[in-house]
Structure 1
Amino acid sequence: MSTTSDYTRRGFLLGATALGTGGLLSACVGSGGGSGGETSGSGDGGSGDAAGPVTLQSSLSDPAPKAALELVIADYDGDVTLNTVAIEQFRAQLSTYLTSSTPPDVLTWYAGSVARDYAAEGLLLDVSDLWTGDGACAGFSEALKSLSTAEDGSQIFVPTNYYWWSVFYKKSAFAEWGVSIPETWDDFLALCETLKGLGVNPLANGIGSTPWMASGWFDYLNLRINGAAYHRELLAGEHAFTDPEVEAVLTEYAKLIPYFDPNMASYSHQEAVTPMIQNESAMYLIGAFVTQFFPEDQQDDIDFFSVPPINPDVPSAEEAPTDGYFASANTTNVDATKALLSYLASAEAQQQFIAESASSNLPTSPDVDSSGFSPLVQKGIELLENTEEITQFFNRDSSDALQSTADDALTRFLADPSDIPGILAGWQAAAERVWDQ
């Protein structure tokens, strides 16, 4: 079976059909959907009742994706109760949801190692039949199937969209400040210094209620300094956070600290956009979902560039997290659960979700109409096509438990970077407790 370490750019794009300007992920054509259904109600749904009832537990709590998923579910024929929980609360309670005697049937979450981690505990439903024959995901690429495959070879995830990370900025603001896109890492640091001299916060971030945002720069600096292979191996416990390679990452990360918005520890990832809207902050390393947080009259002003290279000897790499759904192994209505997963994977459901959420996420189905994709999205597609390696994100390439250790270590580091060896020693001790479980 393929592992996360095999997830290269070639694997990500291999065997894909055209979507927009180039090859992307292969089809996940839904086989169980409809329209005009109710979102809640009662019924006598046993395991053989594909109409329901089932419960969908969602972490999509930002207003736009929350409303979009509500509309998608409203158009489903089956009996579904949708519960939305703030993402940090959802993350903290996910293990409790899955181990409950009455778990939700379907849950939003992420492909990759984080899904495999729950599958290894016997908590996720085997949905391998959705990946064979005329199943909903039978046309997915091997790379995408690998991301959705447990260690025992079974499929335990249904991916429905993905997106890219980059440094986002406003074109009009750069023009007003008389600055341009940096080509090298030294150029990037010089740009930050120039912007700071103009009274602008060079770098936006929101690590208050969303401390995982501190991992974005850690991931990219590790990718640029040590490469994607080392990054994956580190997150798998094959290297130590006390390694000199990781110390080099935090040493470089420390150079950015004077350039962050001084209020970043008070902001969520969404709230950190407000200073950018007001031209008080300049750049934001974040996923393409950030576009939904900008007002409509600034949508065409948003652009991005990739984090510049640092070590010329490592292959280029980008983060392209993949989102979707998995199901509880203890669902009492397997047929209805799989029917809902098939519907959510359909081109129609993906098209509706992306359009209504006003995000720059990309669908996994080539049957989605791409004619309306913005130039920004087409540029994102090109970025992923031209990179040599693709990773997910810290917790998606490791586990939610390891993400908690990163949240603690990196927020402490950002508050006081004076003792990098001490921070890394504490991080390694916490990581060992996770790996030893």
Structure 2
Amino acid sequence: MTRPSSPLWTPSRSLAPAVSSPFTRRSLLRGMMAGGALAAIPGLAGCGGDDSSGATGGGTATSLGSNFSDEVPQQALKDSIDAFIKKSGIKVDVNTVDHEQFQENITSYLQGGPQDVYAWFAGYRMKFFADQGFAGDVSDLWAGDMGDGFTDAFKQASTGNDGKQYFVPFYYYPWAVFYRKSLFEEKGYTIPETMDDLTALCQEMQKDGLEPIGFADKEGWPAMGTFDVLNFRQNGYDFHVSLMAGEESWESDEVKSVFETWRSLMPYHQKDALARDWLDSAAGLLNKKVGMYYLGMFVGQAFTKPEDRDDLDFFVFPALNEEHGTDTIEAPIDGWMMSPKPEDEKAAKQLLAWFGSGEGQDAYLKSDPNNVAASSDADTSGYNALQKKAAELVGASANITQFLDRDTRPDFASTVMIPSLQKFIGSPEDIDGLCSSIEEQKKSIFG
């Protein structure tokens, strides 16, 4: 695949992204919701946030499958839905399921019949399921007022291989290296620009009694972000996209060098990563026991006090290769899809149009300011410093990826990459054997 001739995302229309054709290689991450068919899948009964919100009066209703299972996004979603109910009078039956559980059972859920509206992700995996007939056509929403709030980039990321739209973007969030400004000021640390700088900073932090790099992979997905950034920093965007598409060998010197670089950073990572979830590492960053943390902007969920949130900042992961510099970042787009056969299509599309509106996204971000609104109609005047900086970062980046398990086949991501990366974390010695195993499995899946 050739490098795009223009930036994938440009800071037009309130810094909403603009993308070129390589966006078709991208797709998803964690799981989603349940109810109905999901109730029959072991371990996928709805968790804590299950809720039936309703307006007074009669019968118009729709159902929503949600993967917003963490406390902050769960409340924020409720706020947005409550505002929708108040405005429309449409009842919304919400069922929330842990996102990791759903990731493992997404195909069974979709085959069994999803709820009217369900949470999902832009790009490759949206297309993957749309191709199989698991998504309803929402092209009419894009042709209406809702579509006016999005750049062509968002529309492209929401378009299936048949040219129809199957997705409504809700928000996006960049991945970067997060840190506390007061800790860096107190210790006299400087922002690293190269790998040598990063290594030297890690060594300083260790001398100061800190764990330099927060790291957690109990859920299986966080380590994918580390692989991604090392790969596109070292080998460039084009190689990374081709690798995710199954077009490059996992036994290549390029891939092996990624794992070798990662292994060299292991002494600076938090130990016992497979027994720790991402919020545990975020708490370490909050409590100044961890110096830095490469994660999505949602790390801010751990920073609930205003003074702590104001102290949170980020920098892009340093350059590894002068040829590629820091020209690529990850900034996944989360949003919503519709069942191919909703019980009430009109009500379902009204809810989707709400989620795609600036008003609907404002209602969400008021309670969860750890993302950036996808619609250019959203009110950015209330953005905190982190949101403003994130929008600027995305707008200025030449290339955007969606995250490993959104950029490749779902079966390859879940059955091959999660266990392979966890095996590497637990025992990073045999890189040749690891790469050989991944390549063999890749061939059987991609054909």
TM superposition score normalised by structure 2: 0.86
Question: Distance in 1 between the 2:350 and 2:201 partners?
Answer: 51
| Conserved 8 A contact 1:59-1:84 | yes
- For residue 300 of structure 2, the aligned residue among 276, 291, 300 is 291
| CA spacing shift, 1:196–1:91, aligned 2, 3 Å | same
Q: What does residue 30 of structure 1 align with?
A: none
Q: What does residue 278 of structure 1 align with?
A: 287
| CA spacing shift, 1:295–1:119, aligned 2, 3 Å | same
- Point out where structure 2 has 5 or more consecutive residues left out of the alignment: 19-51
Matches within 5 A, 1:53-72: 54-72=62-80
Question: Distance in 1 between the 2:152 and 2:234 partners?
Answer: 29
SS at match of 2:350: helix
Matches within 5 A, 1:167-316: 167-208=177-218, 210-296=219-305, 297-314=307-324, 316=327
Matched, 1:124 2:116: no
Q: Offset at 1:386?
A: 2.2
Matches within 5 A, 1:3-22: 10-13=7-10, 16-17=12-13, 19=14
C-alpha RMSD over aligned residues: 2.2
Q: What does residue 160 of structure 1 align with?
A: 170
Which has the higher mean CA deviation after the structures are superposed, 246-255 or 71-80? 71-80
| CA spacing shift, 1:44–1:424, aligned 2, 3 Å | farther
SS at match of 2:440: helix
Q: What does residue 366 of structure 2 align with?
A: 355
Q: What does residue 89 of structure 1 align with?
A: 101
Matched, 1:39 2:45: no
Q: What does residue 146 of structure 2 align with?
A: 136
Question: Distance in 2 between the 1:140 and 1:70 partners?
Answer: 24
| Conserved 8 A contact 1:212-1:403 | no
Question: Distance in 1 between the 2:141 and 2:336 partners?
Answer: 13
Q: Offset at 1:86?
A: 0.9
| CA spacing shift, 1:117–1:44, aligned 2, 3 Å | farther
| Conserved 8 A contact 2:17-2:395 | no
Question: Distance in 2 between the 1:95 and 1:42 partners?
Answer: 35
Q: Offset at 1:341?
A: 0.6
Q: What does residue 92 of structure 2 align with?
A: 80
Q: Offset at 1:279?
A: 1.5
Q: What does residue 160 of structure 2 align with?
A: 150
SS at match of 2:407: coil
| CA spacing shift, 1:124–1:180, aligned 2, 3 Å | same
Kindly provide the CA deviation profile for residues 115-169 of structure 1, in whole angstroms up to 9, marking residues without a partner as x: 111112111111111111x242244222111111111111111001111110000
Question: Distance in 2 between the 1:140 and 1:154 partners?
Answer: 16
Question: Distance in 2 between the 1:384 and 1:8 partners?
Answer: 17
Q: What does residue 427 of structure 2 align with?
A: 416
Question: Distance in 2 between the 1:294 and 1:5 partners?
Answer: 40
Q: What does residue 49 of structure 2 align with?
A: none
Kindly provide the CA deviation profile for residues 377-402 of structure 1, in whole angstroms up to 9, marking residues without a partner as x: 22222222222111111111113322
Q: Offset at 1:427?
A: 1.5
Q: What does residue 35 of structure 1 align with?
A: none
Letter in 2 for 1:10: P
- For residue 343 of structure 1, the aligned residue among 354, 358, 375 is 354
Kindly provide the CA deviation profile for residues 5-43 of structure 1, in whole angstroms up to 9, marking residues without a partner as x: 8888734227x32x3xxx3248xxxxxxxxxxx824899
SS at match of 2:9: helix
Question: Distance in 2 between the 1:307 and 1:330 partners?
Answer: 43
Question: Distance in 2 between the 1:200 and 1:154 partners?
Answer: 51
Question: Distance in 1 between the 2:350 and 2:426 partners?
Answer: 47
| Conserved 8 A contact 1:119-1:156 | yes
Matched, 1:320 2:334: no
Question: Distance in 2 between the 1:44 and 1:434 partners?
Answer: 49
- For residue 413 of structure 2, the aligned residue among 399, 403, 414 is 403
Q: What does residue 442 of structure 2 align with?
A: 431
SS at match of 1:103: coil
Q: How many residues align?
A: 407
Q: What does residue 16 of structure 2 align with?
A: 24
Kindly provide the CA deviation profile for residues 35-69 of structure 1, in whole angstroms up to 9, marking residues without a partner as x: xxx82489997xxxxx32x2111111110110111
Which has the higher mean CA deviation after the structures are superposed, 4-13 or 219-228? 4-13
Question: Distance in 2 between the 1:59 and 1:260 partners?
Answer: 29
Question: Distance in 1 between the 2:381 and 2:133 partners?
Answer: 41
SS at match of 1:13: coil
Question: Distance in 2 between the 1:189 and 1:369 partners?
Answer: 40
| CA spacing shift, 1:170–1:9, aligned 2, 3 Å | farther
| CA spacing shift, 1:78–1:433, aligned 2, 3 Å | farther
SS at match of 1:81: strand
- Point out where structure 1 has 5 or more consecutive residues left out of the alignment: 27-37, 46-50
Letter in 1 for 2:187: W
Question: Distance in 2 between the 1:61 and 1:303 partners?
Answer: 25
